[in-house]
Amino acid sequence: MMAESVAKGAASVDNIVVNLKTAADTTLEDIRNCGGIVIGSPEYFGYMAGMIKDFFDRTYEFVKNNKKEFHRPYTVFISAGNDGRNALNQIERICLGFPFRKVYEPIISRGNITKGILNKCFDMGQTIAAGCDFGIY
């Protein structure tokens, strides 16, 4: 639900193409071809989902040797069963090595996902997309 709301917000901006993918289906070419990245993960055992870590692992070796090509604005949303802070911290640490640049405050939903959280996700997507469209990132 959160990912769909982010995607709807991004798609509401003219000139933006949204590519909503699971971590398992995301490739190095997806990173190369995007203007910005929003990473979403459930929190499992106080950590990001394993497939998010797998995505980072699959793409990092190439990215670390070609860092200038991969400066991308990013942000994160977490659906947390606990408090979500450790999952967020781990994702943010990895993103520094890519080198992605955080441009929007992360969203952590603790417990049930409410309409208010979905509205925040929509705003997140819309803001990131508008920033990419206007070239401010």
What secondary structure, in 3-state letters, does 92-124 show?
A: HHHHHHCCEEECCCCEEEECCCCHHHHHHHHHH
Per-residue pLDDT of 49-81, as tens digits, reads 999 999 999 999 998 888 888 889 999 999 998
Tell me how many domains the chain contains: 1
Cα separation, 61 vs 107, in Å, equals: 28
Indicate the pTM of the whole model: 0.94
Neighbouring residues of 92: CB distance < 8 A, sequence distance ≥ 6: 76, 102, 106
Cα separation, 18 vs 63, in Å, equals: 22
Flag whether 137 is in a domain: no
* Structural domain containing residue 91: 2-131
Helix 85-97 × helix 50-64 angle, to 10°: 20
Domain with 52 in it: what CATH number? Answer: 3.40.50.360
Flag whether 14 is in a domain: yes
